[in-house]
Amino acid sequence: MADAATANDQGAKQSYLARGGAVIGPVGARVRARKIHKWTRRRLEAPRGLSIIIDQRTRRRRHRYLRDIRNFLAPVLLCVLMQSALYFLVATRFGRSDWANIFIAIAVLATVPVLTAFVLTAFRRHAAPVMVAIIVASAMFSFAVSTLSAVRLPISYQALLACWPVITAVMAYANVSFHQSRSEKTVLAPFNGAEQIAEELDVPLLDRGSAHVQADVDTLLIDPLEHHKEEWAPLLAQYYLSDVEVVPWTQYLEHRFGRLDIDSFESTYLAYLPSQVLYARLKRIMDVAAVMITLPLTLPLALFTGLYIAWRDGFPVIFVQLRRGYAGRPFRMYKFRTMYKGSAGGATSAQDSRIIRGCGVLRKFRLDEIPQLFNVLLGEMSVIGPRPEAIDLAKSYERVMPKYLLRLMVLPGLTGWAQVNSGYSGNLKEAREKLSYDLYYIKHLSLDLDLRIALTTVRTLLLRRGAR
C-alpha cells in the first residue's frame, strides 16, 4: 500500500512538472507563507484603518451632540418650571387635594421638554425650526397624556390644555435660538477675496500651508468656483472623512445670518417646493383672516389715533403715498398723518420737530400704519412681505442695484424679514443690506418664516425699538 501511494505521488509530481509547475521545497514553502502573511495583514489593516475613522467620526458626533444639547438647558428648565406651576395652579383651583396624583402628572409632563430638546438637537439643519418644534413638542405632549391616561391616573384636562401652549411656545423659541446660535468652530478656506468675506462672516481663515485637518473644526466653508479643483481634492477629502461639514460660504451666510449674497444670487436659483407654492396660494386667505380677526382690537385703536390727531392738528388725519407694489404696479398706501400739516417729508429722527406732539408714541408702536390693513383687504399688500418703497426712491436704488427689482416678485407687507433684522434703510449701504434680507425671504417663503417674523415684530413692538 505504501509503495502504491509513493508511486501515485511520483506520478502526480511528474504530471505537475509536465504542465510547467515547480516543486515547492521547504525554503519555497516558507517564502510562500511569508507572502500569504503579508497579503493577509494588508487585508486586515484596511478595515482596521476604516474602523479608526468611523470611531473618530462617532466620537466627534457624540461630542457635538452633547455640546449642542447644552443650548436647550435654560429653556428646558424654564419650561418645566412654568408648566409645573401652571398645572398645579389650575389643577388645585377646584379644591383637589390628591397631591400624589398631581405631582406624578407634573413629573411626567416635565419629561416633555427634555425629550423634545433631545429630538430637536438632531434637526439642527432643518429649514423650519418653528414648525418642527411645534410638531415634536405636540407629539411628546400627546405621548405623555396618553401615558397618564393609560395608567388611569386622575388628571386635570383643563390644566393640560393650559400647559400645551406654554410647552410649544417655549420650545419653538428655544429651537429658533438654537438654530441661530454659533457653538461650532467654523473656518473659511482661503481664496481671492476671502479676507473680506471672513470679516463679514466673522470666521477665521484656514491656514494656507495646512495639509491636514485642523483640530476641533466643525465646519469648513469653501467657494465652489475656487475649491472644486484638483489641488484642493485631497484636503477636502480629509475633511469629509473626518466628519467635518463642508459647505459653500454663501449657504452658511443664509443659515447663519438669514440673508443672501446679492452678487452671486440669480432669479434662476428660485425653485419653489410644492409646499411653498401651496402656501403662496393660501397666504391671501390667511391675510384676510388675520385682518378680520384683529378688527376688534385695531378698530378702537384706529378710532383713538384718528381722534387724537384731529384734536392736535385738525383734519385730514390720513395721508396717501404712492408706493411700488407687486410686479412694479403703483398703489395708494394709506397711513395716519403724524407730522404737522405743511411739513416736508423724509426720514425722521428722535425729537423731530415735525412730528405732532404725542405722535412719537404712535409711531413707536406702529399705530400710524393701521390704515394699511385696508390695503391688505384690497389685495395690494400682505401682512408679511418686503416693505413697499416710494417710487422715486425705488427707481434710484434700481439704477445702482438692478437686482432690487426682485423685491417685486411678492406682495409688499406691513412687516417683513428685512424690517425686523435691519430696520428702515436711510442710504444705499442700508438698502443693499435690506435687499439681502428681502431676497432671503423670497427664496425661503414659508409659514415657518412668517411665524418667526410675526413673533419678532410683536417682540420689537413690546420692547419699543426699531422704528424711526
Which pLDDT band holds residue 40 (cuts at 50, 70, 90)?
very low
Listing DSSP states for 264-292 in one string gives T--GGG----HHHHHHHHHHHHHHHHHHH
Angle between helices 194-201 and 249-257 in degrees, nearest 10: 20
Question: Average pLDDT, stretch 372-377?
Answer: 95
| pLDDT value of position 354 | 80
Question: Average pLDDT, stretch 93-104?
Answer: 86
- Strand ranges, E, within 309-407: 318-324, 330-336, 382-384
The conformation of residue 388, written as its DSSP 8-state character, comes to: P
pLDDT tops 80 at residue 219: yes
Are 442 and 407 in contact by the 8 Å Cβ rule? The answer is yes
Between 332 and 7, residue with greater pLDDT? 332
Which pLDDT band holds residue 255 (cuts at 50, 70, 90)?
confident
Which pLDDT band holds residue 50 (cuts at 50, 70, 90)?
low
pLDDT tops 80 at residue 409: yes
Q: In what order do the strands lie in the sheet with 186-188?
A: 186-188, 219-222, 245-248
Average pLDDT over all residues of the chain: 82
Q: How many Å apart are CA 424 and CA 440, to the nearest integer?
A: 17
Which pLDDT band holds residue 17 (cuts at 50, 70, 90)?
very low
Which pLDDT band holds residue 32 (cuts at 50, 70, 90)?
low
Q: How many Å apart are CA 202 and CA 196, to the nearest integer?
A: 10
